[in-house]
Amino acid sequence: MSDTTASSFVRQELVPERPAPVKTTGLIGFLRTRLFNSPTNILITIVCALLLWFIVVPALRFTLFDAVWTGKDRTACLAENAGHPVGACWPFIKAKLPQLMYGFYPEPERWRVDLTYALGAILLIPLLIPRLPYKGANAVLFFGLFPLVGFFLLTRNINNQRRGMRHLVFWVRLNQRRRHLAAIDAFHVLPLDA
């Protein structure tokens, strides 16, 4: 036993740490382990990069770089007036923003749309913050109650809609009867021996 104990060596201090290989850490390591670790992931990474290139670059060019930012109306956005290929027409968006936001709601009833936007934001923001409590109750409010409240807020006057629906049904039925009578008249006009 004395021979084995004398020949063995036990280190008394730890070996100092060596830096990790460059291929496994940092940006290169991330790319190798997450995006280029198999032929399938390489193909998916290349396809996604090409999609981003062909979608994001033209979208940025249209919305920011080739856009017309100043003007009073649509004429400022014509290529002849701008002097370059025209992208987004922000003066038009600025002029039509109330139409885009509210549609054909009359001025006195736009509070309904504003209240629906505000309720949606108030209920959505706590769902997006991970550390806030009561996610289940908030999800029930947002996905269950909010669509109903939004529906009743945005449908203005239910009686007018019912009256409009009855009016539409009346005209559809009247047109069906007219077609039926026209078909009967056409049948009577045809000669019997033809």
Q: What is the pLDDT of residues 11-26, one digit of tens each?
A: 788 888 887 776 666 7
| Residue from 49, 26, 46, 25 nearest 36 by CA | 46
CA angle 174-177-182, nearest 5°?
A: 125
51 contacts 26 by C-beta, under 8 angstroms = no
What is each CA distance from 99 to 25, 26, 87, 96, 115, in whole angstroms?
52, 49, 21, 5, 17
Q: Structure pTM?
A: 0.49
- Give the whole-angstrom CA distance, residue 41 versus residue 62: 31
pLDDT tens digits for range 108-159: 888 888 888 898 888 888 888 888 788 888 888 888 888 888 888 888 664 4
